[in-house]
């Protein structure tokens, strides 16, 4: 009963509770879930994985994560593009590595993800179904997807001939 009285005192109306506590929790959880997956992964079949992760975080708490920087070795050489006089005979440049950033869950001693409990749980509120019904990516991502689809319609290029790839840029 204490939880209910505290909730009634703090929020006065169900609308205030919804706006102040629940919608905020859903937005934070959506953002935390999105940090675990790239937009490209989502639109390439990861919608179910995203929805499941969102549901788990709404029910059990938001994963505590950290951003990790990793150096990745490139398989194909970088081509210099600053010298127009060389045309398609550009010279290699760089050290053939790139820096990539990943978001990783922080695990406890048993190997389970650490979580921040949802604030609404302290009032005895539990969410039994959480569903993401609409995702509308920004224009830049939509354009990049359209470009990738156009490139897929062009005959595949040999992977060992990097110089021909520059012709298939949107």
Task: Give 19-37 pLDDT, tens digit per residue.
Answer: 788 888 988 998 899 888 8
Q: H or E segment at 62?
A: strand 62-63
pLDDT, tens only, 28-78? 998 899 888 887 888 888 888 998 999 999 999 999 999 999 888 877 765
Q: H or E segment at 98?
A: strand 97-105
Q: Are residues 121 and 98 in the same domain?
A: no
Lowest mean pLDDT among 56-70, 109-123, 142-156: 142-156
Which pTM value belongs to this model? Answer: 0.58
148 or 122, which is more confident: 122
d(C-alpha 117, C-alpha 45), whole Å:
29
Q: What is the mean pLDDT of the chain?
A: 77
Q: Is 110 domain-assigned?
A: no
Q: Is 59 domain-assigned?
A: yes
Q: Are residues 120 and 54 in the same domain?
A: yes
> Which residue range is the domain that position 158 belongs to?
136-170
Give, to the nearest 10 degrees, the angle between helix 47-60 and helix 23-35: 130
Q: Are residues 21 and 54 in the same domain?
A: yes
Q: Are residues 55 and 21 in the same domain?
A: yes
Q: Are residues 38 and 96 in the same domain?
A: no
How many structural domains are present in the chain?
A: 3
């Amino acid at each position: 009963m204490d939880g209910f009285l505290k909730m009634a005192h703090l929020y006065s109306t169900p609308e205030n509770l919804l706006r102040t506590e629940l919608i905020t929790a859903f937005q934070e959880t959506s953002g935390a879930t999105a940090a675990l997956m790239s937009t490209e992964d989502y639109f390439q079949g990861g919608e179910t994985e995203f929805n499941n992760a969102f549901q788990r975080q709404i029910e059990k708490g938001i994963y505590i994560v950290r951003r990790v920087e990793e150096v990745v070795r490139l398989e194909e050489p970088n081509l210099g593009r600053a010298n127009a006089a060389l045309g398609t005979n550009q010279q290699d440049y760089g050290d053939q590595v790139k820096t990539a950033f990943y978001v990783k869950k922080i695990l406890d001693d048993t190997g389970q993800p650490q979580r921040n409990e949802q604030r609404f749980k302290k009032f005895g509120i539990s969410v039994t179904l959480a569903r993401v019904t609409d995702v509308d990516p920004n224009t830049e991502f939509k354009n990049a997807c359209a470009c990738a689809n156009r490139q897929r319609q062009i005959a595949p290029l040999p992977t060992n001939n990097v110089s021909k790839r520059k012709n298939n840029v949107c």
